[in-house]
Structure 1
């Protein structure tokens, strides 16, 4: 059941979680969607369902082919979620695609902020990430250094996930979304008032000519 103060993003936009690999986007996305009573879509899961494992795609067709599949998948998911509060989690590198970046302008984007210590244990347990083959933490740090500026630029909301259970982070994110929605409504009201004042001034000037 959604909580009584369920946030409604401006215009009912999808809520998209971005961030590095192993940060917990899927777990938090599930949690948030449950709190809001909203659908949840993990684009990596959609890719696996339609094309097979990500590791197999990398091994058989290469990263470039995977990125093309990923970009098409993200586009379909985001477009299908338009006008709703669907919660969507994206793969760590998907935000590098320019088309995806444009699509995210239609969404409320949440960057899950962390550091290497946050993800170290998860990376050690999971050997199925092609880009982290070998020294997983070292590779993760290199990728994160490249992608972090993109995450920060695209984000409407930044959530520090270094500490807290999934449930705690879900509550914090719901509160942040509520605050963001209220601030956006205030900005929209101010913009409308400014536009109306401008129209009145223009009309007065026209009359005085």
Structure 2
């Protein structure tokens, strides 16, 4: 009876996957990039990286404060630098800000050195998730819903260029979202394989 195996429970140190490239989650604010990203990193046993958090920590300011003080172009330049550094430093799961994927040089860098996964949520799901938060500098407008809709319509064609996409419907649990992302990644053996 000494053959009993105790590894039936998946722990965050489950090494049943080998990640070859950083997984970069892209999509609108409210799509679940941070929540799904954290859970995905835990599932794969790799670090979770967040470009917005890295920028805030480097600047010692919040993103809304950076927008206010230095403007969006300055923020976007910093964002590109940080994404490049994170892609080079270690393989993991990287959550990016909603606007990061809009810059063609970021899209190219992510595709060359990682893999982009679009968390695809519809406008209603996004609005329900962001309408009660004041942490979104781009939504500090007279009509935040109209602003969100305009951003959505402008950005969806760009997000659709991501390497992979996974639907985030607002009713799916984070664990199920992680299952969907893993399934999508498994279609790319250059990115993710079972050990």
1:87 to 88, 93, 108: 93
Aligned-residue offset at 1:62: 1.1
- Conserved? CA contact 1:38–1:87, under 8 Å: yes
Contact 1:116 1:137 in 2 (8 A): no
Q: Do structure 1's residue 23 and structure 2's residue 38 form an aligned pair? A: no
> Deviation above 6 Å: which 4+ runs of structure 1?
182-185
Q: Distance in 2 between matches of 1:117 and 1:97?
A: 25
Deviation at 1:4, TM superposition (A): 6.6
Equivalence for 1:171: 179
Structure 2: how far apart are the matches of 1:80 and 1:148?
29
Contact 2:127 2:148 in 1 (8 A): no
Aligned positions, number? 178
Name the CA distance, whole Å, in 2 between partners of 1:112 and 1:146: 16
**Aligned equivalents of 1:78 and 1:62: distance in 2?**
25
Unaligned 5+ residue runs, structure 2? 1-11
Whole-angstrom CA distance in 2 between matches of 1:132 and 1:109: 25
Pick the structure with greater CA Rg: 1
Any stretches of 5+ residues in structure 1 without a counterpart?
A: 186-209
In structure 1, the residue matched to 2:164 is 157
Pairwise CA distance, 1:98: 2.6
Does residue 146 of structure 1 match 2:126?
A: no
What is the CA distance between 1:181 and its match in structure 2?
A: 2.2
Q: What is the SS of the residue equivalent to 1:171?
A: helix
Q: Distance in 1 between the 2:79 and 2:108 partners? A: 15
Larger helix proportion of the pair? 1
SS in 1 for 2:117: strand
Alignment of 1:99-138 (within 5 A): 99-105=105-111, 106-134=113-141, 135-138=143-146
TM-score (norm 2): 0.84
When you count strand as a share of all residues, which structure comes out higher?
2
